[in-house]
Amino acid sequence: MNKKKSIKIKADLCSGNKCGGAFYGLGFIGAAIYYISIAGSFWSGVLGVLKAIVWPAFLVFEVLKFLGA
């Protein structure tokens, strides 16, 4: 395989939202496991799953708070 074709294949693997989707998916699974494991009741677990869906918003908020922005 020549160099140009190799670069094209690498660019295609992370085009669109494929790489971001994998990152979000792993983050969702990790956040869901974390929130469910610390849940004290069924409804806390349900709330934990909802929080796991929007975990990037929590991450951005905390980073901006830390940076003082």
Q: What confidence category does residue 42 fall into, taking pLDDT thresholds of 50, 70 and 90?
A: very high
Determine, yes or no, domain membership for 2. no
Q: Has this prediction a pTM greater than 0.85?
A: no
Residue-number span of the structural domain to which 40 is assigned = 36-69
pLDDT of residue 60: 87
Tokens encoding 16: 């669109």
Selection from 41, 34, 9, 56 nearest residue 64 by Cα: 56
Q: Show Cβ contacts of residue 56 under 8 Å, excluding neighbours closer than 6 positions.
A: 24, 27
Determine, yes or no, domain membership for 19. no
Q: What confidence category does residue 44 fall into, taking pLDDT thresholds of 50, 70 and 90?
A: very high
| Count: domains in the chain | 1
Tokens encoding 9: 């294949």
pLDDT of residue 11: 53
Calculate the dihedral angle through the C-alpha atoms of 36, 52, 18, 11, rounding to the nearest 10 degrees.
-100
Number of CB atoms found within 10 A of residue 31's CB: 20
